[in-house]
Structure 1
Amino acid sequence: MTDDHPALRALIDTMATLRGEGGCPWDAEQTHESLVPYLLEEVFELVEAIETGNRADLREELGDVLYQLLFHADIAASEPGRPFDIDDVAAGVDHKMRHRHPHVFAGGDASSVEDVIARWEEIKTEEKKHRSSVLEGIPERLSALARASSTLKRSAGVVDFSSSHETPVFSSEAELGDYLLALVHTARHAGLDPETALRGATRRLEEAVNHAEAAGSGLAPGDTGA
């Protein structure tokens, strides 16, 4: 790494010192798994800083998330087998971003934002062609709402969800938020858990996608073809 970002280099060195010989026992014993709660907490605090518009908090929370990333990279660098460090992480995502922006780095053409998004999805699909389902890769630990959103986005080309579900039209996020809050209120008074209900509905959508994919590939539902 060059000296273009001396503070970043200093932070990397600080992490190495904390986890190195004679450093901090707590830092030294951490694992990827043990740090998950801290990473989640820092990400949510960053989201809150973004949503509240507090610049001082935004700067601080970006730093906390960066520290978590460096923490995980330092752990990975010391693991046996196939270690990698923060430079490897940066190189990987740099390559991915350059590959997904051919209109900037490879003489490609994109005259609008829509063109950029369409090309991005084409390239991403090609990169992930080894996946057996459009739903593969959606994290299990997402909140019910985030998982539902990702599942709907991924399944758009497989099943037509909108044709069988009438939905209101919203003109703003505030209006949508009020509607969602009202739904949660209604569920609560009916003795129902909205988180569980949405997870169940999403699972049913996932099953429909799996059936459609199996039918399209000539496999019976649930058959992996192995």
Structure 2
Amino acid sequence: MTKNINIQPLVDVVSELRAPNGCPWDRKQTHESLRRYFIEEVYEVMEAIDNKDVANLREELGDVLLQIVFHAQLATERGAFTMQDVIDDVTNKMIRRHPHVFPVRGGETDSLSESGNQKLDSSASEAGDTSKSVQMALTWDELKAQEHGEERKNILDGISVGLPALLRAQKLQEKAAKVGFDWTEEDPVWAKVDEEMAEFKEAIQENNQENMENEAGDVLFSLINLFRWYKISGENALIRTNTKFHRRFAHVERRVNQSGRAWGTFSLSELDAFWDEAKVQEK
């Protein structure tokens, strides 16, 4: 058992930054103004993971935690909820959604705020076999639906419109597939990509900008669907490619700068040669 984790020092720091005599920049922040920073920090975590940079991952996870604590502080100041509420809610949710691991009596858990060391052993051992088997039969999505009750009446409810477009496309497709709205073999998936690409080319020939954009979206959507068949996240794949492009182009830029020549004096074939050097170096 690891020792208890204490995030109170961070909570205290953020509270002091928001105090009347605190930092002017921190004091003027809102949930809305912090939105972009939260997104940026999450992507920096993803970059650290892709780079297998453990030290940077540790730092970036701290930055994400800071964002969480900051949002909780804003809510605390207006009496909405506290950081402890956030911790209790997500802890209880994970227990509810894993009844095969935490077969708690009646499907309910007590608040953890009274004791950070509350144990689950007793509730797990007391649960009846019948209750346990019923809980284990529930899927993750069914448990989520029970939690939200009337809020989510439709299959695709709950997929945030704030997600990156590629990630949202994949989640929409995954939810639809769970109820059978999906092909059962690969060939039609490939055929759909070809069909959408043909329609995109037709829109280009018609020189209809709006239709071109619509068809381009269909191409991307069909590619995401294809990637799902091979257990590939389109979002993760594109992040990797963006990182690779940045790294290789940085090499091209260094070679141009080392030459002492202006960019405009290089032919594309010369720049491609630098690009190929970068690819060789990676190998």
Q: TM-score, normalised by structure 2?
A: 0.54
Within the alignment, does 1:85 sit opposite 2:82 as a pair? yes
CA distance in 2 between partners of 1:116 and 1:42 (Å): 36
CA distance in 2 between partners of 1:66 and 1:155 (Å): 33
CA distance in 1 between partners of 2:162 and 2:219 (Å): 11
* Aligned with 1:167 (options 189, 214, 222): 189
CA offset digits 1:89-122 (Å, max 9, x no partner)? 1111111111111122215359xxxx97963233
| 8 Å contact kept, 1:12–1:70 | yes
Partner of 2:228: none
* Aligned with 2:141 (options 104, 114, 121): 121
Partner of 1:28: 27
- Between structure 1 and structure 2, the one with the greater Rg is 2
State the SS of the aligned residue for 1:45.
Answer: helix
| 8 Å contact kept, 1:144–1:198 | no
Partner of 2:246: none
Partner of 1:219: none
CA offset digits 1:43-63 (Å, max 9, x no partner)? 000011111110011000000
CA distance in 1 between partners of 2:188 and 2:11 (Å): 52
Partner of 1:73: 72
State the SS of the aligned residue for 1:137.
Answer: coil
Partner of 2:217: 197
Partner of 2:153: 132
Aligned pair in 2 of structure 1 residues 78, 198: CA closer, same or farther (>3 Å)? farther
Partner of 2:5: 5
Give the percent of matched residue pairs that are identical in Structure 1 and Structure 2: 38
Q: CA deviation at 1:83?
A: 1.4
CA offset digits 1:56-89 (Å, max 9, x no partner)? 110000000000000100001112xx51110011
Misfit runs of 4+, over 4 Å: 115-118, 190-196, 198-202
Q: CA deviation at 1:29?
A: 0.9
CA distance in 2 between partners of 1:55 and 1:77 (Å): 33
CA distance in 2 between partners of 1:109 and 1:159 (Å): 26
Relative contact order: is structure 1 or structure 2 higher (C-alpha 8 Å, sep ≥ 6)? 1
Q: State the one-letter code of the partner of 1:98.
A: I
Q: State the one-letter code of the partner of 2:140.
A: W
CA distance in 1 between partners of 2:15 and 2:31 (Å): 16
Higher mean alpha-carbon deviation, 26-35 vs 126-135, is at 126-135
| 8 Å contact kept, 1:77–1:85 | yes
Please list, as runs of the form range in 1=range in 2, the aligned pairs for 1:178-189 lying within 5 A after superposition: none
Partner of 2:18: 19
Aligned pair in 2 of structure 1 residues 57, 135: CA closer, same or farther (>3 Å)? same
Q: State the one-letter code of the partner of 2:99.
A: P
| 8 Å contact kept, 1:100–1:123 | yes
State the SS of the aligned residue for 1:156.
Answer: helix
Q: TM-score, normalised by structure 1?
A: 0.66
Q: What is the Cα-based RMSD across aligned positions, in Å? A: 3.5
Q: CA deviation at 1:157?
A: 4.3
Q: CA deviation at 1:132?
A: 2.0
Unpaired runs of 5+ residues, structure 1, are 169-178, 203-226
Q: CA deviation at 1:167?
A: 2.4
* Aligned with 2:102 (options 100, 105, 124): 105
Unpaired runs of 5+ residues, structure 2, are 104-126, 223-283
Number of residue equivalences: 177
